Chains A and B, each alone.
Chain A
């Protein structure tokens, strides 16, 4: 089959689906050359959570943007079951960073061809956790009505599994043991207690942190078997100064995940943008996200990426290895070696699907924890923004002259679309476009 290249742009997404059998598609594939990405670091006050789920086997890995004295670091996470030592681990931050870059919204580019000599393209056929000794001691603290069900040394953290009878006792226990609990958290803790949840609490053990010789706090991972498929947001919204960002990376077997109790919305994608956006792709995506959040009254969960882990097009980062996916909880893939994940299963696709969800929330717009549902939808989606480098040759034929007329209209449309997408003033956009040579605007 032969296609003109401008058609290829439009059929990118459809073609991508056909290529589902190919393991890893090189960066110069149909969906454009990868140029830049908008990773999670762009957003202040953001946390990252990796969920891996196979049936009821759930793994949750939490990375926060904590900055400050590690002695003051403490986490309190409600968990649905008792947690044994072997169900807790730490994950290298670079593994989450890798998944973040791999799934980040991306900018891609194409170069316009010489209109006097159109090129015909032929479509190719579809191509160990750190060990620590579990002490498992359980003591009853009658004074607070709090039971320390277990206490574990986990790498640089001291971890306790608590259960409680009353929220005021738990609040006092946490406060007396230097876990900083915001004012007003008692009601939320009480709700979790009544729902039969336990509390996974962790603090940094400074001595062990020095012994590990690792200056950074590694993300903690908890694995459990439970029908509950949710992320607990509510504690974080108590007394929070303004909205927060959470990026959820979900690894599943069958397909994309979505929120069951909030709207799941696609981030605007496949939009042509001016060339200068390449130099400010970070601010660009931030503006796109903020505008999308405002449009949905901050009541939606945004999909930024949903794709079979076996391939990408274009790849915003190197493919994840089996080891990295297993480290993040996708242990069902059956291998944990250093090779790139590419397992092909019968009927096409691989055994791992990733969904990247981005949510901005506060206590008012997200009053209850987000509950997820795993769908069977394996359609691929990515936040993708496209730039076309104009052909700059001499107009020697009629086709070239009409191309130049079309360019002017294209520039005007890109300016209008960018203004609508980001809320940036159109006049500013037009001025910046002129500076980068996209100036023949009416």
Chain B
């Protein structure tokens, strides 16, 4: 049988992302105290896949496991709960929000971030554990995720750099204003949750503005809001709350600065892309 030679191209960046998240989760389960639990992770991932399958069926789009896997793994890494059903609820809310909360054929909120914020504000049984990463794991993760970013440069994930840079700049400015040593902002940057947030949530191409200018504006706005929530209101989940509260802004930015819509697939003719 004759096959046409195809030019070599990199696989979908989400494969790298899934590999990175799965590695982080394995490290988390194996060596981090008070970290992720296997049963909870399994439930989160399974519920995410199941919800995606049901959602695809109902909306008539082909099923793709990559996106719900990323959401399930992110939730496993970031969210802690005192009951297993809350992990299922988190995955259900996350993936459900993708199918239900949509404007102009584009979902409004990053799924995992949305579920975390909803559960933190509506139930008493969940918390986040942002301090549980050592410096070594942090640097290794930063390197790995940055590599993925470079590999998938075509995929509009410049927002990760915009956000990380503006967040770091704000921390450095605050330290300069307070007269604090540089060790303090550097230590504040060494948060595992910050990396997951930067590389998987705010940079989720499906919920970021379509134009480059829009993404830059959005990243800076989220960084400023998170800074206010964290340091003035002393809110621990400041990053997630800032992102979710400001997500509707992406649609305003898309209207103001229109650009081509992102899709994970090279061409999705119509219907709901996931």
Which of A254, A262, A266, A364 makes the CB contact (< 8 A) with B124?
A254
Which of B81, B124, B177, B179 makes the CB contact (< 8 A) with A187?
B179
List residues of B (141-200) whose CB comes within 8 Å of A's CBs.
Answer: 177-181, 183-184, 187-188, 191
List residues of A (187-202) whose CB comes within 8 Å of B's CBs.
Answer: 187, 190-191, 194-195
List residues of A (169-190) whose CB comes within 8 Å of B's CBs.
Answer: 187, 190
**Cβ contacts under 8 Å, B82 to chain A:** 255, 376-378
Residue of A262, A296, A378 contacting most chain B CB atoms (<10 Å): A262
Which of B32, B127, B178, B181 makes the CB contact (< 8 A) with A375?
B127
Given the known interface contacts A191-B179, A194-B179, A367-B187, the answer about A263 and B134 at a Cβ–Cβ threshold of 8 Å is yes
Residue pair A264, B131 in contact (C-beta under 8 Å): yes
* Residue in A closest to B187 when the chains form the complex, CB atoms: A367
**Cβ contacts under 8 Å, B184 to chain A:** 367-368
- How distant is the Cα of A226 from the Cα of B232 in the complex, in angstroms? 11
Interface of A is mostly: loop
> With contacts A260-B130, A260-B131, A266-B34 known, what are 11 further pairs, Cβ within 8 A?
A167-B179, A194-B178, A195-B178, A264-B131, A265-B33, A296-B134, A299-B134, A364-B183, A373-B129, A376-B82, A376-B126
- Chain A: interface residue total (CB-CB under 8 A): 35
**Cβ contacts under 8 Å, B187 to chain A:** 261, 367-368
Residue pair A375, B80 in contact (C-beta under 8 Å): yes
Which of B125, B126, B131 makes the CB contact (< 8 A) with A258?
B131
- How distant is the Cα of A195 from the Cα of B191 in the complex, in angstroms? 22
- How distant is the Cα of A375 from the Cα of B236 in the complex, in angstroms? 12
Residue of A255, A263, A266, A299 contacting most chain B CB atoms (<10 Å): A263
Which of A227, A254, A266, A376 makes the CB contact (< 8 A) with B233?
A227
Residue of B34, B124, B126, B178 contacting most chain A CB atoms (<10 Å): B34
Q: Can you spell out 12 A-B residue pairs with CB atoms less than 8 angstroms apart?
A: A187-B180, A187-B181, A190-B178, A191-B178, A194-B179, A229-B234, A258-B131, A260-B130, A261-B188, A368-B188, A374-B127, A376-B81
* Residue in B closest to A301 when the chains form the complex, CB atoms: B131
List residues of B (20-35) whose CB comes within 8 Å of A's CBs.
Answer: 32-34
**A4 at interface (Cβ–Cβ under 8 A)?**
no
**Cβ contacts under 8 Å, B180 to chain A:** 187, 191, 368
Provide the A293-307 mask, 1 if CB < 8 A to any CB of B, else 0. Answer: 000110110010000
**A228 at interface (Cβ–Cβ under 8 A)?**
yes
Residue pair B33, A376 in contact (C-beta under 8 Å): no
The interface size bin for chain B is 20 to 34
Residue of A190, A228, A297, A377 contacting most chain B CB atoms (<10 Å): A377
Provide the A249-271 mask, 1 if CB < 8 A to any CB of B, else 0. Answer: 00000110011111111100000
A107 to chain B minimum Cβ distance, whole angstroms, is 22
**Cβ contacts under 8 Å, A266 to chain B:** 33-34
Chain B residues near A (Cβ < 8 Å) = 32-34, 80-82, 124-135, 177-181, 183-184, 187-188, 191, 233-236
Residue of B33, B126, B128, B134 contacting most chain A CB atoms (<10 Å): B33
Residue pair A299, B188 in contact (C-beta under 8 Å): no
- How distant is the Cα of A228 from the Cα of B131 in the complex, in angstroms? 16
List residues of A (357-399) whose CB comes within 8 Å of B's CBs.
Answer: 364, 367-368, 373-378
Residue pair A190, B179 in contact (C-beta under 8 Å): yes
**Cβ contacts under 8 Å, B133 to chain A:** 263
Which of B32, B125, B236 makes the CB contact (< 8 A) with A376?
B125
* Residue in B closest to A167 when the chains form the complex, CB atoms: B179
Which of B32, B80, B135, B236 makes the CB contact (< 8 A) with A260?
B236
Q: Which 8 A-B residue pairs are closest in the complex by CB-CB distance?
A: A227-B234, A367-B183, A191-B178, A376-B82, A375-B127, A266-B33, A190-B179, A368-B184
**Cβ contacts under 8 Å, B129 to chain A:** 258, 373, 375
**Cβ contacts under 8 Å, A303 to chain B:** 33
* Residue in B closest to A254 when the chains form the complex, CB atoms: B124
- How distant is the Cα of A376 from the Cα of B126 in the complex, in angstroms? 7
Residue pair B131, A259 in contact (C-beta under 8 Å): yes
Residue pair A377, B183 in contact (C-beta under 8 Å): no
A277 to chain B minimum Cβ distance, whole angstroms, is 24
Given the known interface contacts A190-B179, A227-B234, A262-B131, the answer about A377 and B33 at a Cβ–Cβ threshold of 8 Å is no
**Cβ contacts under 8 Å, A296 to chain B:** 134
A257 to chain B minimum Cβ distance, whole angstroms, is 10
* Residue in B closest to A187 when the chains form the complex, CB atoms: B179
**Cβ contacts under 8 Å, B234 to chain A:** 226-229
